[in-house]
Amino acid sequence: MTPDSIDNFLSLYLRSLYEESREVKAGPRYGFDRVIHQIAIADGSTPVRLPFFRGARDKLPKPKKEAEHGVDMSFISPDREILTVFVLKDEALTYKNFIGEGMDKDLRMAAMPDLKDPALADIKRVRVVLGYNKDEDEEGVEQFELLAGSHQTRLKRGIRLEFDRWNLTKITELAKERLLSPSLLPDSFYNKFSYICAQYGDFDATSPHWSELLIPDWREFLDDVLQGPTKETKLRLVSIALIILSQHAKTDAKGRKTSGAALGWIEIVEWAMLALWKASAAAPKKTSRKIKRIVVELWFTFYLEELQAFYREHAQSLTSTHSLEIPGEELEDAGGSYRAHWHLGRLGLLSMALSEIIQSHDETSRQVGLAMLHEVQEWTVGLLNSNPSCFRPMLDIQHIEQFLVWRSLAVLNRWEDLEAWLHELTERIYVRYMGLCGITGIDYRNSWELLMDDLSGTDPRQSIPTASSYLLLMLMELCLSLPEGRGDAIVKSIHSRFVVEHEDESKRPKNAAGPVDLISWSPPEDWGDRILAGQDDGGYGITVALDHDNPASSLRNFVTKSLEVEAGKTFPACLPSVLILGCLRHSIPVPPAMWRHLRFAHQGEGEAAN
Amino acid sequence: MTNQRQNNTDSEPSAEGDDLLASLRASLIAAADRDLPPQNLMIEASSIKAVECRPELLSRIVDQVFQTQSSDRDSFYESLGRLNHILPFGSEGRTILGLVWQAALLRLPEDERESKLEEFPRNEDGAFFGLLEALPIVLRKIRLSPARALPWFRRIRVVLGEDLCNRGYWCGIDAWTETDPVNARDVLDKISEHFPDDDTLSLGARILATLRRQGADCHRKVGMAEIEQTWPTHPESTKRLLHHRSWVETCRWKEISDDDVARLLQRLDAAGPEEVGEGFTFIRFLLNLGKTPPASIDLMIKWLRSHVTAKAPPMWIFTACMAARVAIKDGAPIWKSEHLEALLQLVLDCQPIPEGHAGTWAEIDQLIIALFKDSTADTTEFLARLFDSNPGGLRKLFDHTSRSRSCFMEMTRWSGLPKLLMEMFSVSTNRRQLAISLINSGMPLNLVQSELAALNESRIALGILQARLDGLRPQAASGLLLQLLPRIENGSEELKSLFAEELSYQAKNLPGLCLEAFKKSEKSSPVLKAAIAEAESYLESLRAASASPVSAMCIPGLRRARVTTQRRRSLEITKTTKEASVFLQLVKSFHIIYGNEGFASYLHGTLSPPTPFQEFSKSAEMPRLDLMDRDGQVLRRHHIVLQIRSLEKRCASPNSNDA
């Protein structure tokens, strides 16, 4: 994340705030009075007047119902000689607002402070500051200058009077300089977010503590922020929380970010993105376009750009041979598979998101997008070539990453590469099912903990269930996408090797697993929302028995029939890449519609890409 | 004091015997009064003679033995057992025991005597085996009716079980047969009239062999001529079996002529499998005696070859291998040169012998050692063919960790070894596998460069691919590749490319052993340099990757699973180590819980000074690539097999000069 983008998001957040924080019927309203208050406190100033009662823990402050006389809040400097009086307005400084919104009146009243208070006995200077978190125009500024120039410069006891104004830029600068901490967030989130920052800086990324403590807290925080009607401020608040959190990454003794921090950051952002997309889906119609635009902006800036920057920085390491394998460690077959599929998933997602950009931009953006797409694809191919564990799915849910590999190759019409990939992938899985290499088949329980437990036992082959597979059926369907029916032979090979029971069992190797049942899935109507919400898969499973003599034709027939049945279901409005992120994070299977739909769509896309 | 030496033992046997009586009395009383282990008496030959010559002395000893009882409940055999305890081991003690037992029985009325004898196999107080040794002496004077004798001997056999202390039993049968041949013949007839079990058959065969040993008078009395004439071809199989097996017994004491062997084996040729089995037993006994003339061995080998197959019972196969070993080891050089092919074929016919048949493999082990001393060409041929038929067994034979080191050590000194190792470039798969198997077992690798230079490229490629397929021992991989280097330098680009790929693979697979060896090598070959550079670049990239965040992720459940796996493996190693170590089985081991610098012990009231711990460890480099990509290795091997097949076809093609 660049300093400019931090300025931009900070400014957008501050701009979205109200004048004062308070609880209203429609929910919490976050004001920039809290920001001004925290900036003053950060300077070491002492509050003299505050317009609110500080709230209880995790509650917003309660506004005071008393005459303000133009003064929103005032602070005395650490040397007790300067009294700063703030007049806050969540309006733009225009001629109209200067008069109409009472800026002029409030400034004049604020310029006559009551200095009888013994605490103000040493005051030598009074600064009246007009703080506003919107834009300004020349006339507005002129009016302010006129007022400041025409007003007396001395008060009683010879105290000097000055006028100043803090516009959005000034407040942003000050906030960035002094307040890039949980204090920048509304009072109600301060404690929780402080704790999250502490955990983020303490736990090793993706460690058990991280997954069991930090991530649940972070998701709960996001839910709290985004609860109720979706508003711009809440979305901006998430972006600010991310910016602040990024400043708290775990460092080593030399102050450098630990090696896992980058991966941890990606996970943090992913959860935030899912929460934002979920909130955007729930936005009222009136504001939904605006909300979606903001979420897309955050999606690109915080997630896709970060992901791309990560891979650009580490592509060389990632694509060097055996970069993800740790030789000599126990259970590395599974360990390598986890790492490789993690990267395959993110690269595939990046590729998918880029191809979505290409579809919706002008020609220049299209060309830039295409160049980036090629770059991502080279990383994917490099990863596949250098790490054999990319071909070693251990859990059935890893079909998501395999689907993404297929998609990223298919989108650029790399059919020969796809054919080779499908061939090698199925060969390697077959070797495992035949018990020829000591690696078990694909566990359909989809739990790494259970898999690892069983792998550490005495007889993993007996304890790990592998007799049903969604992944294999998906691969068979993907084979159908190969041009000129070239995938039919692979479909037949998968079917005869994995599915068909051998007539002569004695010819099977001793440790071979039994035949596999092909399982498909018909998701429920609202599968898009369910994926974003992380609800369990729902829908119904389908057992698929193909014709032994011509499995490819039989499979085509099954796909056609399934498409007819699914025709009534609407494809979610959300970006497909976001849905895939939801599948990855919540371990929800990719609905078959994703590849059945793309199977027809990618042709045009690929042609365009070329 | 147990006895006193007398100078005039022959002239005054009485004094000698009296002394023995006194010593016996003292020892018996001491053994009865005190619950202490008895002290053995010293008995000289003259004392035994005195006991044999002086019935009254023997009678007094018997009185003494049966009067000196530690309790009133002492039985007949307990008293004899107590006597046995104080007598020395060996023939002297055995003779005295037998004489006392015999005399005690003779004192009894006939029916009581028989019932006492009946009690003997039921004797369960531990004296059975001690008394059994004295049985032949007893049976020299005690008569057993045929009706009682057979079940009695069989009961003794049952009590004996699989115990090898059975000398007294067999000698007892001999003694009884010699003493009472007519009754023995009756027993023999009884046995021959039924289908006896194997033990009873052996009993009958022993009686028959003992009768055969007797003089002409005895032969007349028992009708030996009729037995010898009719039983070998008798229609009743039991009689035939008894006769065949009796020859096994006979060859213990009689010099068997070539004619005897020929006759017996000829008769067995036409017989059923049970009798053929007798033939194997006969041959085994004969060979064990070590006096078999070459002509007989020749006959036996021929007979064995006509009866041995891989499906034959293990004992037949053992006999065949033993015969081959004896013939090769002890046969005259000229005879051997004529029959070597047949002998080796005999062993090959028995394959595959299971690896667990250690006795049979020990015979083959000795046979191969004998071959190493004699020839080279035949040995190479034989080993290759043996490997064809039983690769696992031969591999285990040369694995010095699993069997004796003798064969392994002999082979390392064998002059034909370099030539045999050159078989790794053979067109025959089995020969290549054998050579690689030998390299992997740790044989000194010294390829004959002149032969390598003459070999064509397809065969060199076959060798490289076979080594890749079978996998080379880490220590051997670098040695083999470096020795091949000069030949490759003069080879085609295709061969260089194949070799470079292998060099690079091994350098990455075993950076500790291979890459270091390549770097240390003085050969400045461009192929070698390129492989080193590639491997170093690969390792450097890996180091960079491991420091980057790409693999810095925790995997759910992995840490705990690793702990569980390591704990399970550690327990397995501890168990296996304990099972494999005789030392650990004998000595109690302790796990020191606290204190990591050393240990002391407090034993029998003494506290030892602390002894520092000593650490023993052995490390080995694991092949990285093979472990990292186990599924990929299977596919890789599959591709290599296809490459090898294609090369083999090329070599076998009539137009090819690669063969």
Amino acid at B583: F
**Chain-chain contact of B541 with A448 (C-beta, under 8 angstroms):** no
**Chain-chain contact of B632 with A428 (C-beta, under 8 angstroms):** yes
CA nearest A460 in B: which residue?
B565
- Tell whether A178 lies on the interface with B, counting CB pairs under 8 A: no
Averaged pLDDT for residues B358-373? 84
pLDDT at A210 > cutoff 90? yes
Q: Which residues in chain B are contacts of A388 at CB distance < 8 A?
A: 628-629, 631-632
Averaged pLDDT for residues A187-209? 93
Q: Could you tell me which residues are beta bridge partners of residue B602?
A: B607
Using CA of residue A275, residue A280, residue A284, residue A290, what is the dihedral sign? positive
Closest by Cα among B564, B561, B536, B541 to B551? B541
Question: Are the beta carbons of B223 and B192 closer than 8 angstroms?
Answer: no
Which tokens in the block code for residue A180? 């890039």
Averaged pLDDT for residues B220-226? 87
CA nearest B550 in A: which residue?
A318
- Tell whether A204 lies on the interface with B, counting CB pairs under 8 A: yes
pLDDT digit string (tens) for B506-561? 999 999 999 999 998 877 788 999 999 999 999 999 999 988 999 989 999 999 99
| Interface test with chain A among B509, B534, B542, B555, by most A beta carbons within 10 Å | B555
CA nearest B543 in A: which residue?
A323
- A–B CB contacts, 8 A cutoff, strictly below: 150
Specify the pLDDT at position A362: 75
- Tell whether B573 lies on the interface with A, counting CB pairs under 8 A: no
Specify the pLDDT at position B375: 60
Comparing A536 with A99, which gets the higher pLDDT? A99
**Residue A121 C-alpha, separation from nearest chain B C-alpha, in angstroms:** 59
Closest by Cα among A192, A280, A196, A243 to A13? A243
Mean pLDDT of chain A: 90
Closest by Cα among A407, A301, A400 to A355? A407
Listed in sequence order, the DSSP H helices in A434-470 are 448-455, 460-463
pLDDT digit string (tens) for A540-584? 999 999 999 999 999 999 999 998 888 878 778 788 999 999 999
Highest mean pLDDT among A188-202, B166-180, B508-522: A188-202
**Residue A61 C-alpha, separation from nearest chain B C-alpha, in angstroms:** 41
Which tokens in the block code for residue A290? 């605006």
pLDDT at A431 > cutoff 80? yes
**Residue A250 C-alpha, separation from nearest chain B C-alpha, in angstroms:** 13
- Tell whether B512 lies on the interface with A, counting CB pairs under 8 A: no
**Chain-chain contact of A452 with B547 (C-beta, under 8 angstroms):** no
Listed in sequence order, the DSSP H helices in A24-137 are 33-43, 95-100, 103-110
Of A337-341, B292-296, B511-515, which range is least confident?
A: B292-296
**Chain-chain contact of A338 with B568 (C-beta, under 8 angstroms):** no
Of A14-18, A424-428, A551-555, A596-600, which range is least confident?
A: A596-600
Comparing B18 with B360, which gets the higher pLDDT? B360
Q: Which residue has the tokens 């010294």?
A: B446
**Residue A203 C-alpha, separation from nearest chain B C-alpha, in angstroms:** 12
Specify the pLDDT at position A610: 34
Which tokens in the block code for residue A553? 């034709």
CA nearest A267 in B: which residue?
B553
**Chain-chain contact of B554 with A204 (C-beta, under 8 angstroms):** yes
pLDDT at A11 > cutoff 90? yes
Helix (H) or strand (E) run with residue A431 in it: helix A415-433
> What is the distance between the alpha carbons of residues B217 and B200, in angstroms, rounded to a whole number?
27
Burial class (CB in 10 A: 0-12, 13-18, 19+), B66: middle
Specify the pLDDT at position B218: 87
Which tokens in the block code for residue A29? 């309203």
Specify the pLDDT at position B456: 87
- Torsions phi, psi for B598 (to 5 deg): 180, -165
pLDDT digit string (tens) for A453-485? 999 998 898 899 999 999 999 999 999 999 888
Confidence of residue B126 (pLDDT cuts 50, 70, 90): low
Specify the pLDDT at position B123: 63
Q: Which residues in chain A are contacts of B559 at CB distance < 8 A?
A: 208
Minimum-distance CB partner of A456 among B552, B564, B634: B564
Amino acid at A453: D
Q: Which residues 360-419 on chain A approach chain B with CB closer than 8 angstroms?
A: 388, 391-392
Specify the pLDDT at position B201: 87
Averaged pLDDT for residues B331-350? 75
Q: Which residues 423-442 on chain A approach chain B with CB closer than 8 angstroms?
A: 424, 427-428, 431-432, 436-439
Averaged pLDDT for residues B322-331? 78
Which tokens in the block code for residue A123? 């005051």
Averaged pLDDT for residues A404-410? 94
CA nearest B630 in A: which residue?
A437
Specify the pLDDT at position B504: 94
pLDDT at B101 > cutoff 60? yes
Q: Which residues in chain B are contacts of A427 at CB distance < 8 A?
A: 635
pLDDT at A59 > cutoff 80? no
Minimum-distance CB partner of A453 among B547, B557, B634: B557
Specify the pLDDT at position B511: 92
Q: Which residues in chain B are contacts of A261 at CB distance < 8 A?
A: 549
Specify the pLDDT at position A282: 87
**Chain-chain contact of B554 with A205 (C-beta, under 8 angstroms):** yes
Specify the pLDDT at position A609: 38
Minimum-distance CB partner of B634 among A332, A437, A448: A437
Specify the pLDDT at position A356: 87
Question: Are the beta carbons of A353 and A577 closer than 8 angstroms?
Answer: yes
Helix (H) or strand (E) run with residue A549 in it: none
Specify the pLDDT at position A68: 65
Specify the pLDDT at position B604: 82
Other Cβ atoms less than 10 A from the Cβ of B292: the count is: 22
Confidence of residue B125 (pLDDT cuts 50, 70, 90): low
Comparing A41 with B85, which gets the higher pLDDT? A41
> What is the distance between the alpha carbons of residues A518 and A494, in angstroms, rounded to a whole number?
11
The three-state secondary structure class of A475 is helix
Averaged pLDDT for residues A341-362? 90
The three-state secondary structure class of A83 is strand
Confidence of residue B31 (pLDDT cuts 50, 70, 90): low
pLDDT at B4 > cutoff 50? no
pLDDT at A346 > cutoff 90? yes
pLDDT digit string (tens) for B570-581? 888 888 888 877
Helix (H), strand (E) counts: chain B:
36, 4
Structure pTM? 0.77
- Could you tell me which residues come within 8 angstroms of residue A568 by beta carbon, excluding any fewer than 6 positions away? none
> What is the distance between the alpha carbons of residues B273 and B643, in angstroms, rounded to a whole number?
48
Of A405-414, B97-106, B259-268, which range is least confident?
A: B259-268
Minimum-distance CB partner of A259 among B552, B564, B629: B552
Using CA of residue A389, residue A391, residue A393, residue A398, what is the dihedral sign? positive
**Chain-chain contact of A448 with B558 (C-beta, under 8 angstroms):** yes
pLDDT at A140 > cutoff 70? yes
Confidence of residue B401 (pLDDT cuts 50, 70, 90): low
pLDDT digit string (tens) for B582-631? 777 777 788 888 988 899 998 888 899 999 988 887 788 888 888 889 99
Specify the pLDDT at position A600: 43
Minimum-distance CB partner of B635 among A331, A335, A427: A427
Minimum-distance CB partner of A448 among B542, B557, B634: B557
pLDDT at B393 > cutoff 90? no
pLDDT at B288 > cutoff 90? no
- Torsions phi, psi for B559 (to 5 deg): -60, -45
pLDDT at A607 > cutoff 50? no
Q: Which residues 246-285 on chain A approach chain B with CB closer than 8 angstroms?
A: 258-263
**Chain-chain contact of A328 with B566 (C-beta, under 8 angstroms):** no
Specify the pLDDT at position A602: 40
Provide the b/e sequence for A86-120 (b: ≥16 CB within 10 Å). bbbbbbbbbeebbeebbbbebbebbbbbeeeeeeb
The DSSP letter of residue A589 is: P
- Tell whether B641 lies on the interface with A, counting CB pairs under 8 A: no
Confidence of residue B88 (pLDDT cuts 50, 70, 90): confident
Specify the pLDDT at position A361: 65
Closest by Cα among B250, B257, B196 to B227? B250
| Interface test with chain B among A257, A314, A322, A455, by most B beta carbons within 10 Å | A322
Specify the pLDDT at position B653: 74
**% of chain B surpassing 70 pLDDT:** 87
Q: Which residues in chain B are contacts of A262 at CB distance < 8 A?
A: 549, 552
> What is the distance between the alpha carbons of residues A297 and A308, in angstroms, rounded to a whole number?
15
Specify the pLDDT at position A244: 95
Specify the pLDDT at position A547: 94
pLDDT at A428 > cutoff 70? yes
pLDDT digit string (tens) for A23-35? 888 788 899 999 9
Which tokens in the block code for residue A336? 């390598």
Specify the pLDDT at position B33: 58
Averaged pLDDT for residues A584-604? 77
| Interface test with chain A among B504, B510, B550, by most A beta carbons within 10 Å | B550
pLDDT at B404 > cutoff 70? no
**Chain-chain contact of B553 with A339 (C-beta, under 8 angstroms):** yes
pLDDT at B41 > cutoff 70? no
pLDDT digit string (tens) for A478-524? 999 998 889 999 999 999 999 988 777 777 788 888 899 999 999 99
Torsion of CA B444, B445, B448, B453, to 10 degrees: 180
- Torsions phi, psi for A534 (to 5 deg): 75, 25
Which tokens in the block code for residue B307? 């009866």
- Tell whether B333 lies on the interface with A, counting CB pairs under 8 A: no
**Chain-chain contact of B549 with A335 (C-beta, under 8 angstroms):** no
CA nearest A208 in B: which residue?
B556
Question: Are the beta carbons of B317 and B354 closer than 8 angstroms?
Answer: no
State ipTM: 0.87
| Interface test with chain B among A437, A440, A453, by most B beta carbons within 10 Å | A437
